[in-house]
Structure 1
Amino acid sequence: MFGHMLYLALILNQFNHFATLHPEFYPCEIHTTKDGDINVDCQRRHLANVPKFTSLSVISLNLNENHIHHIKGATFSGLANLKHLSLMWNCIPDRFKELRWPSCSLKIDPNAFSGLKNLTSLQLAGNSLKTIPPLPKQLEILGLEFNHIFQIVKPLGTPLLKQLLLNKNCFYANPCYQSYFIDPRVFQDLPELLNLTLSYNNVTIVPPYLPLSLESLDLGENKITHINKESFANLKNLRHLNLGWNCQRCDHASEPCFPCPNNQSLNLHQDAFLDQRDSLISLSLRGNSLHTIPQHLFIRLHKLQELDLSDNFLAYAIQNGTFYEELRNVVSLSLLYNYEPLTSFSELILSPSIEKMTALRELHLSGLFFRVLSNHSLAPLVKLPRFEFLELRMNFICSVSMDAISQLRTLRWVGLSQNMIAFSSCFSTCTSEAIPNNYRTLEKRDNGQLNLQTQKVILPTSELNTMQASGEDHCFFYYSIWHFKKQICSKKLFFDLSQNNIPWLNASTFRGMEKVVCIDLSYNYISQTLNGQQFTHLSKLAYLNMANNRIDLYSDKAFQEISGTLKALDLSNNEFHFVMKGMGHRFTFLPHLSSLKILSLANNHIGLRISNILNSTSLKYLDFSGNRLDIMWDSRRNQYLHFFQGLTNLTHLDISENQLKSFPPEVIVNLPSSLQMLRMDSNVLSYFPWGNISVLKQLCHLNLSSNMLSFLPNMHFELRLVSLDLSHNRLVVIPKAFLSQAINLKNLMLNHNQLKILDVQALPLSFHKGYTFCPAGPHKNKSSCKLVLHANPFTCSCVISGFAKFLRETYLDIPHLTTEVHCGYPESLAGVNVLSIDLHSCQEIFGSVAFLCTLWLTLAATSIPLLKHLYGWDLWYCIQILWTGQKGHTPVNGGSMMDNQYDAFVVFDTSNKAVRDWIYKEMVVRLENRGRWRFRLCLEERDWMPGVSCIENLHKAVYNSRKTVFVLTSPSGCSHESGVVRQAFLLVQQRLLDEKVDVAVLVLLDLLFPKFKYLQMRKRLCKKSVLSWPKNPRVQPLFWNNLRVALVSDNVKAYNKNVTESFF
């Protein structure tokens, strides 16, 4: 009784500690600033209620993307100093949510925010709100986007509000079926408002009485038809104004389009922006179906720097207009997609008045639809002293005067992509025909440019910054070839000729481009062998992109004319010649490119009939992804084992997506010793030679993610890596010795594996608490070392209590710790966060077990000597009895039983197949192989000695067995086909007369037997020796137990005492 009470007390004690075991603010993550302020991140935690936090240090709380449907009055009572609160996307409007989610609306009690006296920022977007809840007076930022708020009648009561976001409360994807309305009193109560967004709201007129303090106003994507002189009157501080897409141009729309009545243009009064003459910096009039620009509309806007007139009908105004003269201070002018419907002009014509825009730096002229770019086309731009950026994309240009472009002395970027330029009269597509009616570009309204040159990036920018900050100074982390393009081409002359019709190149192609530093020739139809004469005039060329063409690299003179300047070369996706069967390929041009540092040969399917080795003393970055190294490094071939060895200064090697199943040890030994980063992700690797990696003494970053690795060696080897990515594999365990010497490791990615248990001792020493190798990161409670563990099926039991404790106490940066580091086993805890393991319960369980064990040992040590002294002989006697009962019957030495070789001789009709099957499949299995009592049976067909007479074998079987079992079937107790049963019965009767031993046991396999007198007498005299086979399977275990008892017991002692006279 005492033991049970003690155990119950221990269990209850564990429950008392449960509430204090979780980390502070669990299940949310916290970030502590250097000043001690706490930012709590609860985004995507599947929360149905706001967690009850109590802390005066919390200044920011993020509750975005949960399932919170009710904000009660006392919800934030414990966060008195909260400054920033975000509750976005908790009840998404119907047309934005997934179909499986029910409709909902966030309910906010009137006093929910009243206690937050320091709250300055409140974000409530995406909550299906129909009214604005009562707000704190000191609020400065209020976000109400993506709700159902389309009538605001009462003032907000926030006189300090500076930013009010109300966009997308009433538009085609979130309809309200009425005009948007805001009472003028609302704005009168906002004297300090700086930023107001009302886009996508079905606003029909500019709201009156706007706050005079406004600096930014967004009225885009509404249904405003008129801009009057009074629309923006007195808004003398307005700096940014968006009026785009109010009278939409629908022949160019990629989204639902809503033009003004009769397809009219936006009616602009010439004095509409009069009061903004000394303040307006950026103005967007995009997508308003403008055919002309009202005279003197911009003349007083002295500070205007950015003007967007895209997606209008200004094709003729661009050619003949004089509005340019009013834009003397404009830096960026966008005239995108102002083409005239069904018309393609012969050449680009710009109004001479554009030369008055002396401050112009950027000019966007895509989508005007003309065929020739002549000297006359760009003549008005020649005198612009600061002009740097010219975009002419998507114009169907087929002829370009490079001499005209070369006259623009200050030009730095020329965009001619997505045209029909061929630089050859044989392939010219110039025509005077109009553009087909169904030929329309699918440009988004957000002015995003179509970019087909999508290249994979090594890591997201955020991770790159983290990696770079945590890496050693000598271990530079490369981004991608596009990062190098930005570095090399920044503020240098860049020509974008991608996505044109260029079939081949020659020296005359680049006349007029002598000063160009970077050229993009990707996505053309160039199919030729480069022989060193194509780029003769490009004496300054440093970056060349020839991806997605059909370049033949067989000649050793390729690119030799630019060998002294070329730094980056992109030859990716030129697989046309490499996949041709039987064609040889060479890379003998590489040694001649003495300045080449970056080379991309990605996605070329390079695998056979190529140079055995790449040679270059300058190359540092090589992208060889998307090829067939699995063929080159096949075990049957060895000519490519030194393929990369000649790149003596290579620091970055990308061999991902090469279908590699294994990485030969000979290859890693022959890699350049200068290698700092090696990417092998997205292969099918099941083996990696870890023991040989120490030869790469400068290797900092190793990426083996997205492979099929399931085993890591439990061996010590020198590992100088700063970053190791093993994510998306099949690892089950991390051996202790594997990372024992990884003293420099700061970033370890183990996510998306099959780890069930992670021993903390298997982590590098730098990851353990107390080591100062990882310096502090951007937050006070985070280090610069990163450990990624999410998406692993951890076993949540006391076995990983040390691991859970490590996660609670570590300062490592562990992404998704409270959201995706889940239990996988046992199934009852699947999906539960690992941090929810109760460490105290594990300690109490172990302590309870230890207490009970020592208690019993103490009691035993005290009671055993005392009991032995008082009841020693009695205890010995009881133990002997219990031992005998546990071990079962042991034959007594002496008498006729001394020489018995078998426990039972089984007699049956061997000619009866059914009986034979029952004997061998049931009786032999049950009695010889199963149960606590196991018997040795004697069977005629198995144990009788060959060559000895039948009667002699029968005599030995009966007399050398303690019992004789007769297995009988109906219709008679004795078989007529064999005399063995009959003779055995006679011998058993003879033993009864001679030795006074009753050894007969009868087993009746049929329920109905004739009423033989012997059977009836046998049942009366010794009922235990006559057994019947039951037909009910549930009773069969009882039959076997009774048979065992019959075999070990003495039949004579089991005789019925009521029988007054025996046969002895």
Structure 2
Amino acid sequence: GHLLVLLCLCPNTAAASWFPKSLPCDVIESSDDVSLLVDCADRRLTEVPREIPTNVTNLTLTINHIPHISKKSFLRLQQLVELDFRCNCVPVRLGPKNHVCTERLYIEDNSFTSLMYLKSLYLDGNQLLEIPRGLPSHLQLLSLEANSIFSITTSNLTDIVNLEILYLGQNCYYRNPCNVSFYIENDAFYSLTNLSVLSLKSNNITQVPGRLPSTLKELYLYNNVIQSIRENDFQNLSHLEILDLSANCPRCYNAPYPCIPCPNDAAIEIHIEAFSSLKNLKILRLRSNCLREIPSTWFKNTKELQVLDLSQNFLAHEMGEANFLRLIPKLKELDFSFNYDLQVYPVFMKLSTTFSSLLSLERFRVRGYVFKELAIEHLRPLIPLKNLTLLDLGTNFIKVANLSLFQDFPALEFVDLSWNKISPSSESDQGSFSNSRNSENYFGSARLQDTHYFMYDENARRCKSKDKENIPFISFVKEDCRDFGKTLDLSINNLFFINAKDFQHVSSF
């Protein structure tokens, strides 16, 4: 007889085929056999599968209906490094309407204590009332967003002193209401001496927590109700690189979500010395805080600042003064979008001469200033900026634009003039748009390019992605246009015919 030999050359992803067929999950082995990933996401599970291999390192159980975690749930899985147990009981207003969860996840004390190698634990979206007790002391990342936790005490965090990343956002806001002020005990985070990232966004917090650990590099306090930033709130945070204080006194005009301004539409109060310790700050976001002026003293020690977001305030007048710009020479990205004054339609945009001091500036956005005419004299302060590659002037209702002015900006790679009222050969004011009240109505439904500014939280994580969504500003110009070279976007204007002489000075685009 003949001996038949079958050789199977199988890829790494199939190498896990020896696991039980009854396991309702995907199993993926790393090529170096160091990690074993078991993905049980969205399998309608009501308990942790018993067939999970004991050498699993990364386990995903998100989007299921498992109501209970006990000490036995993961006792066999001693090699676990990462456990993703999000969205097993999503808060009612956040969750699916066809499967409303009314019985919150119950976690027995010390359910995770035995997991000696566990580094990352995700428990978002489970209606938890408190931080689980008995967490392993070597845990580095803990994520508890979109639960029902609105009290943090020192005792809650004593088990996890080695924590480096802590996400506690979205525990108290309009889509997950708690109807109380979020309570944080003074010094609650102070014992976390390795903490580098802390997110407390969307929590109805009324003041900056006391004595934050000096190791912090990223602090997210946006979408709260902090009306005042005190002199010493950030006094020991000399390593802080990212600070987001957006939408604590929000500009609510035409907001597409429930929005409550501070009393009398007041601006957030920030002490003139509040940022004086932030010597390593690189990104500062103050979007939607009803600011009407920017004191120079805020920036006297922030020499390393590279990104400043001042969009959605009331800073149209401040842009004509802007003395603070002289103090931040390393700034690469500046956003003044949607600072227009209500019921005002000025002839031109006024930029202070101090803009010319931003010699490192690469990206400048001024959508929603709302003005009629664009000429070189209005942009003259930007001419010295030899690193400026992006200029965004979209959604401004510009009627008259002298395109030849862009000859004076040889470094520009992308100019956005979309969503304006520019007409062909518009040497005179002949646009079809002249009623400033129409401009207000126009903002009632945010255009695609502008949704970035009108979302409640563009960085919110979804059940299907545990990674922080850091969405870059989206360009709606086709990639093949951008790849071709320098781009001028004139989409959505009044260009009903093309006149060659209108474009004779922009041949480089």
TM class, shorter-chain normalised?
A: 0.7 to 0.9
Give the structure 1 partner of residue 29 of structure 2.
32
Aligned to 1:487: 483
Check conservation: 2:277, 2:301, Cα contact below 8 A.
Answer: no
State the alpha-carbon separation in 2 of the partners of residues 444 and 177 from structure 1.
33
Query: Equivalent residue for 2:69?
Result: 71
CA drift of 1:431 comes to 6.6
Q: Give the whole-Å Cα distance in 1 for the aligned partners of 2:89 and 2:452.
A: 33
Aligned to 1:333: 334
- Paired residue secondary structure (1:346): coil
3-state SS of paired residue (1:378): helix
* Residue 56 (structure 1) shift: 4.4
* C-alpha displacement of 1:261: 1.5
State whether residues 287 and 309 of structure 2, in contact with CA within 8 Å, keep that contact through their aligned partners in structure 1.
Answer: yes
Distance in structure 2 (CA, Å) of the matches to 1:506 and 1:447: 29
Residue matched to 2:164? 162
Q: 1:172 and 2:171 equivalent?
A: no
Q: Residue deviations 1:719-759, cap 9 Å, x none? A: xxxxxxxxxxxxxxxxxxxxxxxxxxxxxxxxxxxxxxxxx
1:214 matched to 2:210? The reply is: no
> Which residue in 2 is equivalent to 1:1002?
none
Correspondences of 1:239-638 after superposition (within 5 Å): 239-277=241-279, 279-425=280-426, 428-429=430-431, 433-436=435-438, 437-443=440-446, 448-449=451-452, 482-488=478-484, 492-516=485-509
Contact 1:399 1:423 in 2 (8 A): no
Q: Is the 8 A contact 2:333 2:364 kept in 1?
A: yes
- CA contact 1:379–1:404 (8 Å) conserved in 2: no
CA RMSD of aligned residues (A): 2.1
1:3-18 superposed matches below 5 A: none
Report the Cα distance in structure 1 between the residues aligned to 2:408 and 2:173, rounded to whole angstroms: 48
Q: Deviations over 1:1037-1064 (max 9, x none)?
A: xxxxxxxxxxxxxxxxxxxxxxxxxxxx
CA shift for structure 1 position 422: 1.0
Contact 1:365 1:392 in 2 (8 A): yes
Instruction: Give yes or no for contact 2:20–2:51 (8 Å, CA) kept in 1.
Output: no
Separation of aligned partners in 2, 1:444 and 1:421: 17
Equivalent runs, 1:119-268 vs 2, <5 Å: 119-134=118-133, 135-153=135-153, 154-156=155-157, 157-268=159-270
CA distance in 2, matches of 1:510, 1:444: 26
- Give the conservation status (yes or no) of the 8 Å contact 2:23–2:52: no
CA change 1:260–1:70 in 2 (3 A) is same
Q: CA deviation at 1:25?
A: 7.0
Check whether the contact 1:25–1:40 (CA below 8 A) recurs between aligned residues.
Answer: no
Equivalent residues of 1:120, 1:141 under 8 A apart? yes
SS of the residue 2:57 aligns to:
strand
AA aligned opposite 1:283: L
Q: State how far apart, in whole Å, the 2-side matches of 1:247 and 1:329 are.
A: 28
1:280 Cα shift?
0.3
Q: Distance in 2 between matches of 1:199 and 1:391?
A: 28
Q: 1:268 to 1:444 in 2, by over 3 A?
A: farther
Could you tell me which amino acid in structure 1 is paired with residue 28 of structure 2?
Answer: H
CA contact (8 A) 2:38 2:52 kept: no
| Count of residues in Structure 1 that have an aligned counterpart in Structure 2 | 463
Judging changes above 3 Å, is the alpha-carbon distance between structure 1 residues 188 and 427 closer, same or farther for their aligned structure 2 residues?
closer
Contact kept in structure 1, 2:421 and 2:433, CA below 8 Å: no
SS state at 2:299 partner: coil
* Identity rate, percent: 34
Give SS of 2:59's match.
strand
**Residue identity matched to 2:303:** H
Please give the secondary structure, in 1, of the residue aligned with 2:205: coil
Contact 2:151 2:183 survives alignment (8 Å): yes
Q: Could you tell me how far 1:485 is from its partner in structure 2?
A: 3.1
Cα deviation, residue 427, structure 1: 8.8
Where do residues 53-132 of structure 1 align in structure 2 (5 Å cutoff)? 53=51, 55-101=53-99, 102-132=101-131
Q: Is the 8 A contact 1:269 1:294 kept in 2?
A: no
Distance 2:377 2:220 in 1: 39
Amino acid at match of 1:440: F
Q: Classify the secondary structure of the residue corresponding to 2:28.
A: strand
Contact 2:131-2:156 at 8 Å conserved across structures: no
Alignment gaps of 5+ in structure 1: 1-19, 451-480, 517-1064
TM superposition score normalised by structure 1? 0.42
Measure how far apart 1:22 and its partner are.
7.1
Is residue 200–residue 221 contact of structure 1 (8 Å, CA) maintained in 2?
yes
State the SS of the aligned residue for 2:406. Answer: helix
Q: Distance in 1 between matches of 2:329 and 2:271?
A: 21
CA–CA distance in structure 1, aligned partners of residues 249 and 46 of structure 2: 43
Question: Quick one: which amino acid aligns to residue 434 of structure 1?
Answer: S
- State the SS of the aligned residue for 1:323: helix
CA distance in 2, matches of 1:322, 1:424: 37
Cα deviations by residue, 1:120-139 (Å, 9 ceiling, x for unpaired)? 00000000000111211110
Name the amino acid aligned to 2:20. Answer: P
Render the CA deviation track for 1:950-1009: whole Å, top value 9, x for unaligned: xxxxxxxxxxxxxxxxxxxxxxxxxxxxxxxxxxxxxxxxxxxxxxxxxxxxxxxxxxxx
Residue aligned with 2:320, SS: helix
Cα separation, 2, equivalents of 1:329 and 1:208: 30
Deviation at 1:160, TM superposition (A): 1.0
Distance in 2 (CA, whole Å) between partners of 1:335 and 1:262 is 23
SS at match of 1:186: coil
Please tell me whether the aligned partners of residues 155 and 189 of structure 1 are also in contact (alpha carbons under 8 angstroms). Answer: no
Q: Deviations over 1:632-685 (max 9, x none)?
A: xxxxxxxxxxxxxxxxxxxxxxxxxxxxxxxxxxxxxxxxxxxxxxxxxxxxxx
Q: Deviations over 1:177-233 (max 9, x none)?
A: 111112234312211001000110000000011111100000000000111110101
* C-alpha separation in 2, matches of 1:275 and 1:21: 57
How far apart, CA to CA, are the structure 1 residues paired with 2:436 and 2:52? 70
Summarize deviations over 1:847-885 as a string: whole Å, max 9, x none: xxxxxxxxxxxxxxxxxxxxxxxxxxxxxxxxxxxxxxx
Q: Deviations over 1:57-102 (max 9, x none)?
A: 2110000000000011111111101000000000011112234434
Structure-1 separation of matches of 2:503 and 2:98: 58
Which residue type is aligned with residue 141 of structure 2? I
> When you count helix as a share of all residues, which structure comes out higher?
1
Residue 54 of structure 1 and its aligned partner are, at CA, apart by: 5.8
Tell me: higher relative CO, structure 1 or 2? Use CA pairs within 8 A at least 6 residues apart: 2
Contact 2:37–2:59, Cα closer than 8 Å, also in 1: yes
49-58 vs 221-230, which moves further: 49-58
User: What is the deviation of 1:260?
Assistant: 0.9
Q: Which residue of 1 aligns with 2:45?
A: 47
Larger radius of gyration, structure 1 or 2? 1
Q: Given that residues 247 and 287 in structure 1 are in contact (C-alpha distance below 8 angstroms), is that contact kept between their aligned partners in structure 2?
A: yes
TM-score by length of 2: 0.87
Distance in 1 of aligned mates of 2:41 and 2:86: 9
Amino acid at match of 1:139: L
Q: Which amino acid aligns with 1:346?
A: V
Residue 345 (structure 1) shift? 1.1
Q: Secondary structure at the match of 1:276?
A: coil
Question: 1:106 and 1:444 mapped to 2: Cα distance?
Answer: 39
Write the letter of the residue equivalent to 1:138. H
Distance 1:446 1:409, change over 3 A: closer
Q: SS state of the match for residue 364, structure 2?
A: strand
